[in-house]
Amino acid sequence: MEHIDVAVIGAGVTGLASARAIAQAGRSVCVLERHPRPGMDTSTHNSGVIHAGLYYPAGTLKARLCVEGRERMYEFSARYNVAHVRSGKLVVAHDETEVHELEALKKRGEGNGVAGLAIVDRAFIVAREPAVSAEVALWSPDSGIVNAEEYVKALLGTGADAGVIFLPGTKVVGADRRGDGMVLTTERETILATVVVNAAGLYADEVSRLLGGEAFTIYPCRGEYAEFTPAKRSLVRALVYPLPHASGHGLGVHLVRTTGGQVWLGPTVRYQDRKDDYENDREPLESFAAAARRLIDGVTVDDLRLSGSGIRAKLHPPSESFADFLIRRDRENPFVVQASGIDSPGLTSSLAIGDLVADLVEESLR
Ligand SMILES: Cc1cc2nc3c(=O)[nH]c(=O)nc-3n(C[C@H](O)[C@H](O)[C@H](O)COP(=O)(O)OP(=O)(O)OC[C@H]3O[C@@H](n4cnc5c(N)ncnc54)[C@H](O)[C@@H]3O)c2cc1C
């Protein structure tokens, strides 16, 4: 049986960034991933937005790790040639009530340490995004866009350079607790790990159960996208958002110009039972066109086509509006560190999450 200091379950951005930080701290570490390649679940099915840190309640991990992770993400992407842009973003208001909400959002962002936020007028909006119809918006200069697939590859490559062993096609199917760690069973081998990190995304609740860790539920919540046809892509230059959903379930159907020049519109919000259903019963194009018209006048179904979708790993049911990331030493099993419930802004926060997980692993190993 192989013996390793740390086994990370899941090679999304959470697991890869954690493993990299753990290896950099001098520990032996492997990443077990059920898919043949890293990042095939949520880590490459998202908007690719580098969030500034506006939205999250003060004092939460989401607020802190987003602000830290965002700057780490810009540095990392510049250093390892990951396509990205610090484009800034506009959050637009439609009426007086929404202007008050923008002001509240600005305050919240400032409380989280986000610099440079400003309420801007029509002239500013037109200079940035000529097609956008709003009169007033919140400008967030430190928001940006990253190519998530390139980011996953760079995490994998720089992790390997630091000594991370990546085991693709390796689903963890069983676990036994011993006096000196956890014996993990995969379809191919058994591994003794002194500490196990649960970074299994949508399956983190099931993996936690397998490990004899804390009980919690992951609620899958699908977000679908449409995209502008090539002829209409010039309508959007960077990032345009409405105010977030009052329900707290999403940031609102927004516009993103990807680093490859496509323009995405989404994501929608729909809780569902399955963790692997990206396609059944898709939203009609007309509902995307209606959402687009709240940002840009005159968009019709002819300007759009359906695009991909992603599934959020939410830690709260539809009846609740917020849950923080679950990142801590497990309260039931001392050999487990949880990096679970990583919904948005998990991509942005990933490098900061990785450092926090590495610190928790060190505490466990001591
Ligand atoms: C629609 C949508 C839009 C989003 N937009 C943004 C955004 O713009 N900006 C942002 O910051 N965040 C965004 N997010 C959030 C972000 O994508 C996630 O927070 C992040 O990708 C989570 O990464 P993860 O590594 O925790 O999970 P995942 O990427 O899902 O990785 C978990 C991995 O664990 C593996 N696994 C599961 N069970 C096992 C097992 N038993 N054995 C081995 N492997 C296993 C899976 O195969 C998977 O690869 C968005 C999310 C969605 C759904």
* pLDDT, tens only, 19-39: 999 999 999 999 999 999 999
Once rounded to an integer, what is the mean pLDDT over residues 214-241? 98
Domain boundary among 297, 314, 331: 314
In this structure, the answer to whether residues 294 and 332 fall within a common structural domain is no
Judge whether 283 lies within some domain.
yes
Paired tokens of 247: 């329900």
How many Å lie between the centroid of ligand 1 and the Cα of residue 42?
3
How many Å lie between the centroid of ligand 1 and the Cα of residue 16?
11
Judge whether 50 lies within some domain.
no
Question: Count H helices, E strands: the chain?
Answer: 8, 20
What phi and psi values does residue 142 have, to the nearest 5 degrees?
A: -95, 5
Among 167-176, 215-224, 241-250, where is mean pLDDT lowest? 241-250
CATH code, 8: 3.50.50.60
In this structure, the answer to whether residues 158 and 281 fall within a common structural domain is no
CATH code, 275: 3.30.9.10
Report whether 267 contacts 48 (CB < 8 A): no
Beta bridge mates, 183:
176, 192
Domains of the chain: total: 2
- Atom of ligand 1 minimally distant from the CA of 223: 1
In this structure, the answer to whether residues 250 and 291 fall within a common structural domain is yes
Q: Ligand 1 within 6 A of 200 CB?
A: yes
Domain boundary among 272, 293, 314: 314
Cα dihedral sign for 267, 152, 364, 181? positive
In this structure, the answer to whether residues 180 and 301 fall within a common structural domain is no
- Atom of ligand 1 minimally distant from the CA of 346: 19
In this structure, the answer to whether residues 89 and 193 fall within a common structural domain is no
Q: What is the largest CA-CA distance in the chain?
A: 66
In this structure, the answer to whether residues 278 and 334 fall within a common structural domain is no
In this structure, the answer to whether residues 156 and 301 fall within a common structural domain is no
Q: Ligand 1 within 6 A of 342 CB?
A: yes
Q: Ligand 1 within 6 A of 47 CB?
A: yes
In this structure, the answer to whether residues 178 and 123 fall within a common structural domain is no
Judge whether 69 lies within some domain.
no
Q: Supply the range of the domain harboring residue 282.
A: 84-142+219-314
Q: How far apart are CA 316 and CA 152, in angstroms?
A: 27
Give the pTM: 0.98
Once rounded to an integer, what is the mean pLDDT over residues 347-365? 98
Judge whether 206 lies within some domain.
yes
In this structure, the answer to whether residues 137 and 158 fall within a common structural domain is no
In this structure, the answer to whether residues 208 and 286 fall within a common structural domain is no
Q: How far apart are CA 25 and CA 30, in angstroms?
A: 14
Q: Ligand 1 within 6 A of 194 CB?
A: no
Which pLDDT tens digit goes with each residue over 273-287?
Answer: 999 999 999 999 999
Which pLDDT tens digit goes with each residue over 164-210?
Answer: 999 999 999 999 999 999 999 998 899 999 999 999 999 999 999 99
Once rounded to an integer, what is the mean pLDDT over residues 90-117? 96
In this structure, the answer to whether residues 288 and 255 fall within a common structural domain is yes
Cα-Cα end-to-end distance for the chain:
23
Report whether 7 contacts 32 (CB < 8 A): yes
Judge whether 56 lies within some domain.
no
Which residues touch 159 (CB under 8 Å, ≥6 apart)? 16, 19, 20, 23, 31, 166
In this structure, the answer to whether residues 281 and 241 fall within a common structural domain is yes
Determine the length of the chain: 366
Check pLDDT > 90 for residue 126: yes
From the list 111, 70, 57, 81, the residue with the least C-alpha distance to 244 is: 57
